[in-house]
Amino acid sequence: MNPVIKIDGLSFGYEFGDSVLKDIYLEISPGEMVALVGQNGAGKTTLVKHLIGLLRPPAGKVRVADLDVANTRVSKLSRQVGYVFQNPDHQIFHDTVQAEVAFGLNNLGLPREEVEPRVTAALSDVGLEHLANENPQRLSRGQRQRVALASVLALRTPVIVLDEPTTGQDYQERKQIMALVEQLNKAGHTIVFITHDMSLVAHYASRVVVLCQGQIILDGDTREVFRQTDKLAESLLLPPQVTVLANQLNEPLNTSVSPVILSVDEMQEYLQRVREVKRNGAGD
Amino acid sequence: MARVIEYIYRDSIIHQLNPLSKLAWALGVMVLALTFNDPYYLLALLISVGLVGLTGRVMKDLSGVMKGLSIFALILVLLQVVFYHGAYREAVTLGIAMGLRMMTVVLSFLVFLSTTQYKDIILVLTEKMKLPYDYVFMFMTSLRFVPTFLNEAIQVGYAQQVRGCPIDSGNPWRKMKAYIAVALPLVLISLKKAERLAIAMETRGYGSNNRTYYKEPIISTLDYFVIFLVVVLIIGAIILRCKGLGVLH
Ligand SMILES: Nc1ncnc2c1ncn2[C@@H]1O[C@H](COP(=O)(O)OP(=O)(O)OP(=O)(O)O)[C@@H](O)[C@H]1O
Ligand SMILES: [Mg+2]
């Protein structure tokens, strides 16, 4: 399948600084759910800004949905790529939640009969339908973040980029947001999300890209990436505790065949299997 | 663009000067610029300010602003030519002088501000010049927030563009309408920020009397030299002016 995102040797530095991205190659196929992780200042936000033209790549270096980002308007790219910012206050300005969410749809020129159901759907997706007529300025920060999220999700773009969508959310909301993102992914949207929360990565991402000082140092299946604890440690990243525990228990064995455990449930299942094997072994 | 009047950390002799001597220098430049109206004199002055900026290693950062300023200066010249009642030659000379004067004064203050930390400026204005702290603080803080504000403006622009808001449109009418979506969040953010700043300051004891200061900028021999030089230059300029040099009638 043709990749929906194709980055071909992208390097970048801000006007007065050192280089922030160094020779990035990345291909993402339609329907993938990719987590982009790395330390503060690794260049994650800088990288994803190139996907929607907020930072202009040189011609031919970044293609999204068959558009060359270098010479496509942001407002045109926004039909293909949805982008949720770290700070919701940069976009919120209407005086009802509803109007805020409708803004993007109106920009796309959708007729009213289509805007309304989409707004309602997006709001109920993020669990804010009861606040539809509230003024966003009176909501909590976590709620405003979900307004921002809804206003992008309502656009139903094939690609959705989320820059730390769950910061400042409590456990319940975090799970709700990620479940929603997962559901969108299952419906065919390609997702790229940035996060510092490794348990979210373990739970939701099928692929992990690790950025370290502007370079991709690991890129692969979530289990494969979490197996490489040494490499991850370079970026001061620690897989979820249960994964670390499993890796350590497996250390005396041949690690390349023993499974990488991503959740407590998997661990439990694994231990049960080991116990059964042992019991059977003891029976001989 | 977001870098206008912002302290830029560089290792330079200009950065190490006492804020007072830099302020004296900037004010001195202003006096000189107002004393003369001969374009050659003003050009020399502008070049000298540029050299100070180069020594401070901030000219590259200020080049964007300077480009904008020179366009503005050009407009000044054109306005003079169009509206001046008198000889064409005179009008052009006068226009050029005005443009150069403006660029010189603005550049000298930009060099001053970009090589001096706000807290040091506040410190010398209140402690050495005995200006009331509240007003100095208010003034400097609003200056301090200009770059932050510009940066926010860019971010808000981004946030609206990705929702298809046509601020990158070629059509000026659509573009103007689209800017409402940028202006409103900016106002909201600024109000919130001001409120937060007030709370942050109060909770950390702003307004209780007798403040002390973390670090006092020292006055070195070089500072005395700079201030001496500025005084000499101003006196020299006044003498020249009295002799009728550097002014066109
Ligand atoms: N507008 C800017 N101008 C200059 N330098 C910048 C700008 N934005 C970011 N940088 C620099 O680029 C580097 C990468 O920043 P970026 O925001 O991409 O990191 P990040 O991986 O998203 O970090 P975080 O996890 O904190 O969000 C940092 O060193 C930062 O200082
Ligand atoms: Mg970031």
* CB contact (8 A) between residue B168 and residue A75: yes
The CATH code that applies to domain A5-236 is: 3.40.50.300
Are B159 and A81 inside 8 Å of each other by CB?
no
Question: Is there a contact between A104 and A94 (Cβ–Cβ < 8 Å)?
Answer: no
Say how many Å lie between the CA of residue B245 and the centre of ligand 1: 53
Contact (Cβ atoms closer than 8 angstroms) between residue A172 and residue A196: no
Residue A31 DSSP symbol: T
**Does this complex have an ipTM over 0.95?**
no
**Predicted local distance difference test score (pLDDT) of residue A254:** 57
For residue B64, the distance in angstroms to the closest alpha carbon of chain A comes to: 11
Given a contact cutoff of 8 angstroms between Cβ atoms, the answer to whether A44 and A193 are in contact is no
Token pair of B148 as six digits: 């932050």
> Within an 8 Å CB–CB cutoff, is residue B61 touching chain A?
yes
Q: How many CB atoms lie within 10 A of CB A59?
A: 10
pLDDT-based confidence at residue B141 (cuts at 50, 70, 90): confident
pLDDT given at position A131: 94
User: How close, in Å, is residue B163 to chain A by CA atoms?
Assistant: 5
Alpha helices by DSSP H, chain A: 44-49, 74-77, 97-107, 112-125, 141-153, 171-186, 198-204, 222-227, 229-234, 241-250, 264-283
Whole-angstrom distance, CA of residue B82 vs CA of residue B88: 9
Rounded to a whole number of angstroms, the distance from the CA of A173 to the nearest CA of chain B is 23
Out of A20, A163, A211, mutate this one to test ligand 1's pocket (max ligand atoms within 8 Å of CB): namely A20
C-alpha distances out from residue B68 to B7, B73, B99, Å = 20, 9, 12
What is the rounded CA–CA span in Å between residue A178 and residue A172? 10
For residue range B56-112, what is the model confidence (pLDDT) as tens digits? 999 988 888 888 888 888 888 888 888 877 788 888 888 899 899 999 999 999 999
Residues 93-152 of A with CB under 8 A from B: 93, 103-104, 107-108, 137, 151-152
Predicted TM-score (pTM) of the model is 0.75
Confidence check: pLDDT of B129 > 90: no
Contact A208, A220 (CB under 8 A): yes
Q: Tell me the C-alpha distance between B195 and A89, whole Å.
A: 15
Residue B5's pLDDT band, with cuts at 50, 70 and 90, is low
Q: What is the pLDDT of residues A101-130, one digit of tens each?
A: 999 998 888 898 999 999 999 999 888 999
pLDDT of the residue at B22? 93
* Contact present, A201 and A37 (Cβ < 8 Å): yes
Question: Please, what is the average pLDDT of chain A?
Answer: 89
Nearest residue by C-alpha to atom 10 in ligand 1:
A14
CA B56/CA B104 separation, integer angstroms: 16
Q: Taking Cα atoms as reference points, which of A253, A190, A177, A240 lies closest to residue A37?
A: A240
Q: Which residue in B155, B169, B188 is closest to A75 by CB distance?
A: B169
* Measured distance CA(A224)–CA(A252) in Å, rounded: 18
| Residues with a beta carbon under 5 angstroms from ion ligand 2 | A 45
- Give B101→chain A minimum CA distance, Å: 29
Q: Do A82 and B162 touch (CB under 8 A)?
A: yes
Mapped to the 3 state alphabet, what secondary structure does chain B carry? Answer: CCCCCCCCCCCCHHHHCCHHHHHHHHHHHHHHHHHCCCHHHHHHHHHHHHHHHHHCCCHHHHHHHHHHHHHHHHHHHHHHHHHCCCCHHHHHHHHHHHHHHHHHHHHHHHHHHHHCCHHHHHHHHHHHCCCCHHHHHHHHHHHHHHHHHHHHHHHHHHHHHCCCCCCCCCCHHHHHHHHHHHHHHHHHHHHHHHHHHHHHHHHCCCCCCCCCCCCCCCCCHHHHHHHHHHHHHHHHHHHHHHCCCCCCC
Predicted local confidence at residue A15, as pLDDT: 77
Number of CB atoms found within 10 A of residue B143's CB: 14
pLDDT tops 50 at residue B2: no
Residue B50 has pLDDT above 90, yes or no: yes
Site of tokens 């009213």: A112
Q: Could you tell me if B60 lies within 8 Å of chain A, comparing CB atoms?
A: yes
pLDDT-derived band at A70 (thresholds 50, 70, 90) equals very high
Q: Label residue B62 exposed, middle or buried (CB < 10 Å: 0-12, 13-18, 19+).
A: buried
Q: What is the pLDDT of residues A123-171, one digit of tens each?
A: 998 889 999 999 998 998 888 988 999 999 899 899 999 999 888 788 8
Domain boundaries, chain A: 5-236, 240-283
How many residue contacts between A and B have a Cβ separation below 8 Å? 73
Q: Which of B67, B150, B162, B180 to mutate to probe the A interface, most A CBs <10 Å? A: B162
| Contact with chain A for residue B192, Cβ under 8 A | yes
Q: In which band, very low, low, confident or very high, does the pLDDT at A256 lie, cut at 50, 70 and 90?
A: low
Given a contact cutoff of 8 angstroms between Cβ atoms, the answer to whether A30 and A158 are in contact is: yes
Residue A96: list chain B partners with CB under 8 A.
Answer: none
- Residue A242 tokens, joined: 């249960």
What is the pLDDT at residue A147?
92
Closest partner CB to A78 (pick from B164, B169, B184): B164
- Stretch B186-190: mean pLDDT, rounded? 87
The pairing of beta strand A215-221 with beta strand A33-37 = unpaired
- Residue A38: helix, strand or coil by DSSP? coil
Rounded CA-CA distance A192/A160 in Å is 6
